Structure 1
Amino acid sequence: MEYWSKSIRLDGWDYRIPWFYFVTICTKDRCHYFGEIRDGIMGLSEQGCAAWYFWNEIPNHFDNVKLDEFVVMPNHVHGIIQILPDENGSHPVGMLHATCLQDININDRMSIISPKPGSLSTIIRSYKSAHTRWCNQKNYDFEWQSRFHDHIIRNYRALNNIRRYIKMNPEDWESDSQF
């Protein structure tokens, strides 16, 4: 029996669609690689500075991306990524159709579930890879959690609430039991 982990992405949503996405990427085992918070202010380690730097490099590698609010925390990063329409003002596809994956061969299945160029997953994979490669070159012990969390931002009110949450995250660190 083959085991496939279930995707945590929204079923049927094409993550190449021009939209705002709230992303959280955690370190493996929530290790505090990126620095520490004192009196509500995040002090970045060298690995934290690299996490900040590579995040801000994303638009240099993806023409369809605009960055919004972002913060590096001791063991995770929060950011808002806006995927933009292409130069014609369109996007590659609409909603994906549900597909039965049981009766197709492994190569076709992998093609269907693999991240598509310009998608949120491709952008995050590239970011995580660049940071990890830098850490390996510096001989730092470092690992990301294997997945990332995303939230499709539904409207401008939600966008502004999430921006505020990201900005306030260092100040709220002590009371945030999740991390």
Structure 2
Amino acid sequence: MELPKRKKNRLTGYDYSQNGAYFVTICVVEKQELLWNVGARTARPRDTAPLSQYGLVVDAAILEIPKHYPCIRVDKYCVMPNHIHLILMLQQDDGRAMRAPTTSTVVNQMKGAVTKQIGFSFWQKSLHDRILRNEREYQKIWEYIDTNPLTWEKDCFYRQG
């Protein structure tokens, strides 16, 4: 039996370590709602009250990203019941000898830190990232992340029941 071909979700030939803004979505495997407390159906942006014990670990790991990668800034993020959204800003000085990490490197390190702290992995294998090419796109994604917790039941990752 031939396995289905996976659609490429990254730009061919693009250097994901170059300076710029990136919109990243990371999902929990099988859309399990592990990151919010049971019964929490909506939240205000930056409201940690609905976060489960796992959601709190994820939240803390996101805040740690710039400590591990000084050239990375987390401009905006939100922890949803079964996924997270981030805007990562890569800003490396031209004079540095070391190469900046890619979005995949940053996300894999964050996923690993969460897995180590809670004792098991609940992450889907990959990630979705999008290069934010201009201010208009950046503002649109900023607004989406900001309002996503308020409209959870309309989200494409929402599963009823």
**TM-score of the superposition, structure 1-length normalised?**
0.75
Q: Is the 8 A contact 1:23 1:149 kept in 2?
A: yes
1:152 matched to 2:131? The reply is: yes
Q: Name the SS for the 1:133 alignment partner.
A: helix
Give me the whole-angstrom Cα distance separating, in 2, the residues matched to 1:67 and 1:15: 16
Give, as a single letter, the amino acid of the residue that structure 1 aligns with 2:20.
W
Q: How many angstroms apart in 2 are the aligned matches of 1:22 and 1:153?
A: 7
Query: In the alignment, what sits opposite 1:173?
Result: 152
Equivalent positions of 1:53-132 (< 5 A) are 53-86=60-93, 88=95, 92=99, 118-132=101-115
CA distance in 2, matches of 1:72, 1:171: 12
Change (3 A) 1:120 1:39: closer
User: Would you say the 8 A contact 1:40–1:171 is kept in 2?
Assistant: yes
Partner of 2:41: 38
Cα distance in 1 for residues equivalent to 2:42 and 2:6: 40
Deviation at 1:40, TM superposition (A): 3.9
Q: Partners of 2:131 and 2:6 in 1: how far apart? A: 21
Tell me what 1:163 maps to. 142
RMSD over aligned CA atoms reads 2.4
Q: How much has 1:19 moved relative to structure 2? A: 0.5
Unaligned ranges ≥5, structure 2: none
Q: 1:38 to 1:6 in 2, by over 3 A?
A: closer
- CA distance 1:39–1:74, change in 2 (3 Å): closer
- On the 8 A contact 2:76/2:87 being kept in 1, the answer is yes
User: Following the alignment from structure 1 to structure 2, what is the Cα–Cα distance between the partners of residues 129 and 155?
Assistant: 31
- Give 1:6 deviation, angstroms: 6.3
TM-score (norm 2): 0.83
Unaligned runs of 5+ in 1: 93-116
How far residue 178 of structure 1 moved from its aligned partner, in angstroms, is 3.4
Higher Cα radius of gyration? 1
- After TM superposition, give the deviation of residue 76 of structure 1 in Å: 0.4
Q: What is the rounded CA distance, in whole Å, between the counterparts of 2:142 and 2:98 in structure 1?
A: 25
Percent identical residues: 34
Letter in 2 for 1:84: Q
Q: Who is 1:19 aligned against?
A: 20
